[in-house]
Amino acid sequence: DARVTQTPRHKVTEMGQEVTMRCQPILGHNTVFWYRQTMMQGLELLAYFRNRAPLDDSGMPKDRFSAEMPDATLATLKIQPSEPRDSAVYFCASGDQSGTVSYEQYFGPGTRLTVT
Amino acid sequence: AQKVTQAQTEISVVEKEDVTLDCVYETRDTTYYLFWYKQPPSGELVFLIRRNSFDEQNEISGRYSWNFQKSTSSFNFTITASQVVDSAVYFCALSGGPGLYNQGGKLIFGQGTELSVKP
C-alpha cells in the first residue's frame, strides 16, 4: 500500500531557527504539492512541482520559505528564519497529473510545526 | 477566481441518521475536477472521491453518495445511516483545468464541515 511519507511528524523550534521538512512522494507520481493547514486560513497551497520542476510557489512567503525537489523521491520545504506565525500542519501530497487530467492527490501524515 | 464554499461549519447527528454535507463551487474553467476528502481526528487527509466536470452522474459507494449538479454548482455528499466512525472534518475541493502550460492540479479547499456522530 503505497503512501506519502513525511518527516519529522512533529517539530518544536524557537523563533529564528531553520526548519526543514521532508517528503517522499508515492513512487511514479509526477506531481508533488505542499499545503499548510491552520485554523484561520484552512488548507492552502504553498507550492508544487511537476516532474521535479517548480510550477507555482505563489502561496509561499518568498523571503523565508523555499521548496525544492532534489530528486524524484524527495521534496523539501525549508523555513529560514522561522516565526511563530509559521506554526501549522504542513502536508505533502503527490499525484499523477498525466497530460491534461487532474487525478486525486494522496496526502502524507503531515508535519506539525510549533514555533515558540 | 476559483472558490469552494462549505456553509455548514459543524453538524451533529445521532448514529444511524442520514446526513448531507453541502459544497458549492465557483470556477470559470470549462474543465475542472471536484473532490471530497475526510480528515479524521488523527489528522491525515483521506481521499474519498473525484469527479470531472463532464460527468454529472451521481455516485454511490456503500453508505456514501455524491450528487453533482452543474446547474447549481454543487457537489453534495450524503452519508446514509451514519456511524460514530464517520466523525471527522470533511473537505470539498476544486481543481482547475490544465491551463495553458499544463499547470493545473492544485486543490482549492473549502473551509471544511466538522461532522460529529453521537452514539
Strand order across the A65-71 sheet: A5-7, A19-24, A74-79, A65-71
CB atoms within 10 A of CB A58: 10
Chain B residues with CB under 8 Å of A106 CB are: 47
Q: Nearest CA of chain A to the CA of B119: how many Å? A: 27
Average pLDDT over residues A8-24: 98
pLDDT at B57: 83
User: For the ranges A91-95, B11-15, B48-52, which has the lowest average pLDDT?
Assistant: B48-52
Q: How far is CA A116 from CA A12, A83, A113, B5, in A?
A: 7, 8, 10, 33
Chain B residues with CB under 8 Å of A101 CB are: 52, 98
Query: Is A99 a residue whose pLDDT tops 70?
Result: no
> Are A105 and B44 within 8 A, CB to CB?
no
Return mean pLDDT, chain A: 93
| Chain B CA closest to residue A58 | B106
Residues A95, A98: Cα–Cα separation, whole Å: 9
pLDDT at B82: 97
pLDDT at A52: 92
> Are B95 and A109 within 8 A, CB to CB?
no
pLDDT at B58: 85
Q: Nearest CA of chain B to the CA of A105: how many Å? A: 7
A35-72 tens-digit pLDDT = 999 999 999 999 999 899 998 888 898 899 999 999 99
Chain B residues with CB under 8 Å of A97 CB are: 102, 104-105
Query: Is A103 a residue whose pLDDT tops 80?
Result: no
A49: contact with B, CB 8 A cutoff = no
Q: Nearest CA of chain B to the CA of A44: how many Å? A: 7
The answer to whether the beta carbons of residues B25 and B75 sit under 8 Å apart is yes
Q: Residue A87's pLDDT band (boundaries 50, 70, 90)?
A: very high
User: For the ranges A32-36, B27-31, B76-80, B97-101, which has the lowest average pLDDT?
Assistant: B97-101
C-alpha cell at B57: 452522474
A26: contact with B, CB 8 A cutoff = no
User: For the ranges A11-25, A88-102, B37-51, B81-95, which has the lowest average pLDDT?
Assistant: A88-102
Query: Is A74 a residue whose pLDDT tops 80?
Result: yes
The answer to whether the beta carbons of residues B61 and B38 sit under 8 Å apart is no
Average pLDDT over residues A4-30: 96
The answer to whether the beta carbons of residues A32 and A49 sit under 8 Å apart is yes
Q: Residue B99's pLDDT band (boundaries 50, 70, 90)?
A: low
pLDDT at B105: 77
Return mean pLDDT, chain B: 92
